Amino acid sequence: RKEVEQDPGPFNVPEGATVAFNCTYSNSASQSFFWYRQDCRKEPKLLMSVYSSGNEDGRFTAQLNRASQYISLLIRDSKLSDSATYLCVVRGSGAGSYQLTFGKGTKLSVIP
């Protein structure tokens, strides 16, 4: 049973393109939701938290649908520097649980 599932990609897109990533999670009691970015052989870094109302940070927009247990990330005007693996991450299912559950990631390559 996959707790956090993502399309592994790779997504190869030209500079300037808009790209969308999707993620589903299995535990309806999950508390918080995030997108992390991981460059090759580096540590995960928080890109943005995801809220039910949807949230935007510059070129990045994240959406959460709790009823469908679905999370999305939209990247507009892709840059070469956006090339990385994008990890969908869910925080624990119990009060006081702060362990993070990661998806396997979606690899993005932005091509000149």
Partner 1 sequence: EPEVTQTPSHQVTQMGQEVILRCVPISNHLYFYWYRQILGQKVEFLVSFYNNEISEKSEIFDDQFSVERPDGSNFTLKIRSTKLEDSAMYFCASRVGSYNEQFFGPGTRLTVL
Of 74, 20, 18, 11, the residue nearest 48 (C-alpha): 74
Question: For partner 1, which stretch binds (CB under 8 A), given 19-27, 37-45, 50-58, 60-68?
Answer: 37-45
Identify which of residues 4 and 62 has a Cβ nearer to partner 1 in the complex.
4
Query: Beta partners for 59?
Result: none
Length of the chain (residues): 112
Min separation Cβ 5 and partner 1, Å: 10
Q: For residues 92 and 104, what is the distance between their CA atoms, to the nearest angstrom? A: 17
Residue 13 lies near partner 1 (rule: CB under 8 A): no
Q: Footprint of partner 1 on this chain (CB under 8 A)? A: 4, 32, 38, 41-46, 87, 92, 96-105
